[in-house]
Structures are given as structure tokens and as C-alpha cells.
Structure 1
Amino acid sequence: MRRPTRQNSHDTDGLIIEQAGALCLRVSPKGAQEILLVGSRRSGRWGLPKGHIEPGETSYEAAAREAFEEAGIRGEISDTIAGSFAYSKESSPNPYRVIVHRLAVSSIGDAYPEQGLRARQWFTHSDAANAVGHEGLRDLLQNLD
């Protein structure tokens, strides 16, 4: 079993920047499992709610916080790592690695910190894998059990 990561610092030239992401899951009224994706503020590309791990915070705590801040999602977060993926930003020389945790959604808020800044939408598993902008995230979603 992989353990959550605890982060103590932010950007440092040449180092991989670790972030945490939430794989927000719910069951649709028709009984199908759905995944929440949010739009990037810069490009609008679909992805998971994700962001920096604050000092003293575990990766699963950060994933739960990001799910609420970016999408108004609350629920039960798993402390087990579901997977990870890498990506890069044009605005940073550092590579990023996102540690992903599953979140079983219990509520979807209408008011949250990034309300109006991002789109949020529910997708079936296969549609989510086809919609995401990062190849590494696409691979992670396609290989989920």
C-alpha cells in the first residue's frame, strides 16, 4: 500500500513539484459511476481538482481541500494513493507530479472559493479519459480499477 506524501516546500529549480489531486466519484441517478472534471483557469482544458500540498499537509488532505476550493466538492477522501501523473507548465521550468486520491462525493456546494472561475462537469469513466487535457492523467483514468 502506498502512503500519502507530506510536502514541506514549494517551487525549487530543478526539482519535481508535487501536487495533490482528487478523483471525485459519484453514482449517477441511472447507477453509473461518474468522475468530476474541472476546467483549467488558463486553458479551459479538463482535469482533476489539484494543487500544491501546503507545508505540514498530507497529499490526501490537500486533495480534499482542492476538491472543495475548485469545485465545491466534499466527501470521504481515501488516504491511499490511487495513482499519479506528471505534467509540465509553460510558466514553470519545473516538472509537476500529481498524487491522486479517490474522493467519494457526499455533497456538491453552490458556493466555494473558485466558483465562477472554472467549469465543472460530471463525465462517465470513458468520457472523462477522453476529455482530459494531460496525457498522463488520461493514462491514469484508463487504467483505474
Structure 2
Amino acid sequence: MVTEYASGAVVYQIRDGKIWYLLLQSATSDFWGLPKGHVEKNENLIQTAVREIREETSLKTQIDSNFKEKVEYDMKNGHHKDVTFFVSRVAPEVKVRKQDEEINSFGWFDYADAYEKLTYDNLRALLKKAEDYIRNKENIEE
């Protein structure tokens, strides 16, 4: 079985003491997910996450590698996908410009809405872990 490797991040911002998550809607399969993409030759996982976030959203990000979670699944083409996610905080005033070829829509969502909006259960589980990590790191009460 062929394994494809990818990397991305749970991109968030803090406004008025509340965490907001950036979700992207795919232009090709209509699902809601997180910024991510294939690891290219001579790239490490962090470089891939930074590049993919920039390509898909135009955001310049710094990756927090202290949070590192893997999501794995089998794709319709029979390949296995191995995606490593980090977290990345961006400033509230940043402007997202979506990559039209890959991204249909995007939005900033609080945890409850992001959890509901995400299409796949494995991404919901990832969001829960990221939420716990970010609340602890940023010292934000529920």
C-alpha cells in the first residue's frame, strides 16, 4: 500500500478572550477541514505546514511544534494518508485570501461551531486535543 505524507495545522486566533479556529471548505470534495497538504521533496513536516497554510490562505504562520498529532486514514484511491498536525496562532487582524483552485470557502469558528462544521470524526478528535492544549497554553478558562 502506498502511504502519502502530509502536514498542516490547527490555525487559531484569540479575540476577546475566546479561541477562534480557521476551517477551510475544499473546492474539490466539499468537506470542511483544516489547512494541510502533501510533504514535498526536501521538506520537513513543519516546513510543509507553513507552506501549505500560506498557499491555501496567504497567512504567514509560525508552527508550535509542542503540539503534534497524527491523523491517518485510507483514501478512495487505495492509498494510506498520514497527516501530522501542529497548532499555529495568528493575530486577530490577519486577512485570509483563499486559494481558489483548492478552497471553496473558509471561516473562523468557535470550538462548538468548528466541531460541528468539521466533516470527519478524526478531525473532530484532533480539534478536541488542540482545544485542550491551546486553553492550557494560552491560560484561557472555559
Correspondent of 2:117 among 131, 137, 141: 131
Q: 1:102 to 1:86 in 2, by over 3 A?
A: same
Higher percent of residues as strand:
1
User: What's the counterpart of residue 105 of structure 2?
Assistant: 119
User: What's the counterpart of residue 94 of structure 1?
Assistant: 79
Q: Which runs of 5+ in 1 are unaligned?
A: 1-13
Moved over 6 A (4+): none
User: What's the counterpart of residue 18 of structure 1?
Assistant: 5
Contact 2:38 2:48 in 1 (8 A): yes
Give the letter aligned to residue 10 of structure 2. L
Distance 1:111 1:48 in 2: 15
The number of aligned residues is 129
Q: CA RMSD of the aligned region, Å?
A: 2.0
TM-score (norm 2): 0.79
SS in 2 for 1:19: strand
Q: 1:45 to 1:94 in 2, by over 3 A?
A: same
Give the letter aligned to residue 78 of structure 1. D
User: What's the counterpart of residue 88 of structure 2?
Assistant: 103
| Range 92-101 or range 125-134, more displaced | 125-134
Give the letter aligned to residue 4 of structure 2. I
Contact 2:71 2:83 in 1 (8 A): yes
Higher percent of residues as helix:
2
Please tell me whether residue 57 in structure 1 is matched to residue 43 in structure 2. Answer: yes
Give the letter aligned to residue 127 of structure 1. D
